[in-house]
Amino acid sequence: MSFQLHSAAVTGRDPVHWLVVTHGILGSGTNLRTLSKKLVAARPEWGVLLVDLPGHGLSRPSPPPHTIEAAAEQVTALVRDQRQRGRQVRGLLGHSLGGKVMLLARQQLPGLRQTWVLDSSPSPSDGDEPQEVPGVLAMLESLPDRFDDRRQFVEAVEARGFSTTLAMWLAMSLDRDPNGVRFGLDLAVMRQFFASYYQTNAWPNLLSETGGAVEMVVGTRSESLDSTDRDRLRALAEQHPHVRLHEIDSGHWVHVERPDWLAELVAKLLPSEV
């Protein structure tokens, strides 16, 4: 295959089963490394494969289209390749945009036992989506092409009204060149992924029993899912044994705000016999 997603393994001892983990828009697999280390410490028979989605982290942009569907196909291809290499991939986990990617990928992968979706709406947009990500994209597009160093980039983001935490997180995507540093992600590609996220209806993928259990983790203070999404998930969890809903006092970044709680939950519910 000419295009291959970048991945990095996190293990305790020699794992028997594997969980493929990916991130949200503007992120990378390393965003979930702390969670992954906690998981393999608690469940050493499991290994984690941290995956960078196309155009993120160390994965170069794939050929167009830059959509949720295309990213799901690429994750599916990676899992099949890993299985051919002898790694028994039995679970998927994705945050935000990555969660919707995993919902689509799960139907294409017989043998999965579990898919974790961290604070990601299965719904298409009704035109009233949260404005955090569009605001960040617009801010990044307004920045100079290059900065002298990381600190200058962080200060520029802060000067536009964004938090130091967000600025430092975005700075993880800086690339160094002879003239300083520049933001390393293609913002035009990011906008296409963002648009696709809000155009994609993943409810049918969630309802399908192909791909095993679906564990939906939702932050009670997050704006990513509206009240209609939450009510529908509660109803589905009561009606469909393969769907479970876990609501936690958190914002959108559940793996950052509640890392111990999330690690304990996932470690507890990862299958013991697969």
As a whole number, mean pLDDT of residues 124-129 equals 66
> What per-residue confidence (pLDDT) applies to 126?
65
Residue 63 DSSP one-character state: S
Residue 9, pLDDT > 80, answer yes
Cα within 13 Å of Cα(5), Cβ side: 28
Residues 139-167: tens digit of each pLDDT:
999 999 999 999 999 999 999 999 898 89
Does the predicted model carry a pTM greater than 0.85?
Answer: yes
Residues 211-247: tens digit of each pLDDT:
899 999 999 999 889 999 999 999 999 999 999 999 9
> What per-residue confidence (pLDDT) applies to 274?
60
The answer to whether 49 and 20 are in contact (CB under 8 A) is yes
Residues 77-119: tens digit of each pLDDT:
999 999 999 999 999 999 999 999 999 999 999 999 999 999 9
Which SS3 state, helix, strand or coil, does residue 21 take? strand
- Cβ neighbors of 246 (< 8 A, separation 6 or more) are 215, 216, 217, 218, 265
Residues 36-62: tens digit of each pLDDT:
999 999 999 999 999 999 999 999 888
> What per-residue confidence (pLDDT) applies to 1?
47
Q: Domain 7-124+200-269: give its CATH superfamily.
A: Alpha/Beta hydrolase fold, catalytic domain (3.40.50.1820)
Residues 171-215: tens digit of each pLDDT:
988 999 999 999 999 999 999 999 999 999 999 999 999 889 999
Report the alpha-carbon distance of residue 241 to residue 44 in Å, rounded.
Answer: 27
Distances in Å between the alpha carbon of 145 and those of 148, 155, 182, 193? 11, 15, 6, 21
Residue 130, pLDDT > 70, answer no
Report the alpha-carbon distance of residue 70 to residue 47 in Å, rounded.
Answer: 25
| 3-state SS track over 67-80 | CHHHHHHHHHHHHH
The answer to whether 39 and 267 are in contact (CB under 8 A) is yes
Residue 256, pLDDT > 90, answer no
Distances in Å between the alpha carbon of 42 and those of 14, 21, 33, 113? 14, 17, 14, 19
